[in-house]
Structure 1
Amino acid sequence: MIIILGSVQMAPGQRDAAIAVGLEHCARSRAEPGCLSHDCHVDAADPDKLVFVERWADMAAVRTHFTVPASGEFVRRMAALASAPPQMALYDATERPVG
């Protein structure tokens, strides 16, 4: 499984627009093959920071997701609403049972 953690610091006055763009992207991404989950959260410590948590079946699904034109448009739209460049990190993970 691939986990992607992303964040964006929203520019002043852009919070509602950024949340709308983020939720639209999450809803679209969830319908893509290999997407296990795709969520957008407001940072409890910083209400002007959005955090994205994504889980993908494998790297092939992530690569396909990155080639979808709407994914590139999401990055451009979100960057225009941000006060700093968005951040992203990818992790290769193995899910382990709890207990």
Structure 2
Amino acid sequence: MIIVTGALVAEPGKFDRALAAAQAHTRASREEPGCISHDVFPDPEHPDRLFFYERWDSMDALKVHFGVTEARGFSASLTGVAKPDPAHRLSIYETTEVRPG
């Protein structure tokens, strides 16, 4: 499984626009082949920050996602609305699920 995390910071006064764009992106991404989950969460400690958490069944599926026109359009929709959070850049992890016991 592939896990992707990332965050963005909304420009002052533009949090609602950033959240709406992020929610549209996550809903569309969930429909893509190989997407296990794709979520965005407001950060309760930093009111202008959104945190993304995604799970994909393979790196190939994630690569396809990055090439989808809508995914590239999401980044463009954030111009002037939000910017990547430098403290939490996009990170990609290859994982194996482990069950206790």
Fold in common (TM above 0.5): yes
Aligned to 2:27: 27
Query: Would the aligned equivalents of 1:25 and 1:71 in 2 still touch at CA under 8 Å?
Result: yes
Aligned to 2:84: 85
Which structure 1 segments of 5+ residues have no match?
none
Give the structure-2-normalised TM-score: 0.91
Amino acid at match of 2:84: P
- When the two chains are superposed, the root-mean-square deviation of aligned CA atoms in Å is 1.2
Paired with 2:30 and 2:80, the residues of 1 have a C-alpha distance of 23
Give the structure-1-normalised TM-score: 0.93
Identity percentage over the alignment?
40
Following superposition, which runs of at least 4 residues in structure 1 exceed 2 angstroms of deviation?
Answer: 84-87
Q: How much has 1:41 moved relative to structure 2?
A: 0.2
Q: How much has 1:76 moved relative to structure 2?
A: 1.4
Task: After superposition, give the CA deviation of every residue in 1:8-34 in whole Å (9 maximum; x if it has no partner).
Answer: 011101100000000000000000000
Amino acid at match of 1:73: G
Paired with 1:85 and 1:6, the residues of 2 have a C-alpha distance of 8
The range that moved more, 85-94 or 29-38, is 85-94
Paired with 1:71 and 1:26, the residues of 2 have a C-alpha distance of 9
Which structure 2 segments of 5+ residues have no match?
none
